[in-house]
Amino acid sequence: MLCDLIPSRDARNYDFYTVAAILPYLTFTLDALGEIRDELHADMEIADAKPCSLHDNTIYKRIFSFVAESLADREKWNVTVAGFRVYAMQQLRKFSQCEAAEPFEFSFSDGFSTLVCHFDGDVLELSSAGEETENRGTAWNLTIGRNGDVYGNMDTDDLENIEGMSLSIDEPDEYCYFEKEEEN
């Protein structure tokens, strides 16, 4: 294609009919070269992007530990919770390695405040909402993306103060579970 463009440099020396005959081909060649350049530029941007790994991300590690530990105490009493814990941890591992992961959602609530862990397959979100009491903090929201970008903040004290709160598993449907008050 480049060889075809060289004669166009000398187009001033050719008559109008000669230049008019090769002009559509030259226009096509220039467009094709432009598309190749754009594709190479896009590939270079992808190559320069951050690697997709959350193994070193301290926020991700803290959330992973919360999921593992908070459900570990409850799995002793219920087979559904035990299965969900394994499922949630597998999905978080896939998420951290940039593999396709399935969504899940669970929460802890005590009537005054609610702590929700929601994962849609691409974004992991942890949030707390409810009344402010002396044992519970105010509302907060933390989101972590597949590339490790973190938005918001979290109160780690809320992650440690779930004793006495009821567990609710909302997603996926095969693990739906609502803990009764007397099971705590």
Over residues 102-112, the pLDDT tens digits come to 999 999 888 78
Percent of residues, the chain, with pLDDT higher than 70: 71
pLDDT at 182: 41
pLDDT at 184: 44
Instruction: Indicate whether this model's pTM tops 0.85.
Output: no
pLDDT at 17: 65
CA distances from 58 to 8, 45, 96, 144, 172 (A): 59, 27, 12, 11, 27
pLDDT at 87: 92
Tokens of 2: 């480049």
Residue 147 has φ and ψ, to the nearest 5°, of: -85, 0
List the one residue out of 126, 135, 140 whose CA is nearest residue 161: 135
Domain boundaries, the chain: 2-48, 58-183
- The predicted-structure confidence for 127-172, as pLDDT tens digits, reads as follows 888 765 455 455 888 888 877 778 888 766 666 777 888 888 898 8
